[in-house]
Amino acid sequence: MLSARESFIRLVELASAPEERHALARELCDLLLEWPEGYPAGMRGQIEALLKTVAGELDELTRRSVAERLAACVTTPTSLLNEFFFDASPETKRKILLRNDEPMDPNNEGVCGFPDERLLAEASRAASQVELKNMLAQVFSIPTDICERILADKSGKALAVACKGIRVSRAKFSALAVMAGDGGGDSLDACYRRLAAFDEIPEPAATRVLLFWRAKDAAVPNRHAA
C-alpha cells in the first residue's frame, strides 16, 4: 500500500489531468470513507479540500453518486456534504439537512438576519425568472449562480432552506415557490410537494446551509452582478 505522502502526491497529480476528474473523485471518496490505518488524521482536511476543488468539474450524475456515498457516512463533515447539496437526491438532501440540524451558538443566533420585506414583495411579482433570480440573490445575500441553482431545484427544498434561513413566513415562501415553478406545467402533486418542503426544513439547518452559501459569496467579490 502507498504511504500517506505517496498517496497524496499521486492524487494531486491526478487533479492536474482534466480527463481524470471522475476517477479522482471516486478515489478521494473511497479514501475518506475507508481511511487507511496509519494515515495521519490531519491529512483528511487536505483530501476533503481536494474533493471540493474538483467537485465543480464533475458531471451531475457523478456529483450525485459522491453525495449519496458521503451522506451515508456519519463522519463526513457537514461542510463537505453541503458542497453537494444541489445534486443530491431528495432523500440525501434530507440527510444533509438533518446533519446540519444542530443547536446554534447563542452568540450567533439570527446571524442570517431577516428579509427585506419590500424587496421580497417585489420578487414575488417578478416579471421573469432572471428578474426573480437577481432579486432573490439580494434578498438572501447569496451569489446569483447559487440562487439560480436554488430556483432550479424542483423539489422546493433549496428555496425552503433559503427562506427559512432568513425567517421568511410560510405564506411568502408559498408565493415565491409558485413563482419559481415552471409556469403552471407542474402536476398538482408536484406543486403540493414543493409547498410542503417548507415545513420539512429545520430552522437551525436552514441557517447553517444559508451561511455556507453566503460564505462562497464572501470569497469572491462582486458576484451578484447579473
Q: Per residue of the chain (226 residues), what is the pLDDT tens digit?
A: 678 777 877 787 777 777 778 888 988 999 999 998 888 988 999 999 989 988 888 889 999 999 999 999 998 999 999 999 999 998 999 999 999 998 766 565 556 788 888 998 898 888 899 999 999 999 999 999 999 999 999 889 999 999 999 999 999 999 898 888 765 456 777 788 888 999 999 999 999 999 999 997 555 544 444 4
Residue 176 · residue 159 · CB < 8 Å? yes
Provide DSSP, 6-28: HHHHHHHHHHT-GGGHHHHHHHH
Cell (9 digits) for 182: 415552471
* Cβ neighbours for 104, distance < 8 A, ≥ 6 positions apart: 204, 207, 208
Length of the chain: 226
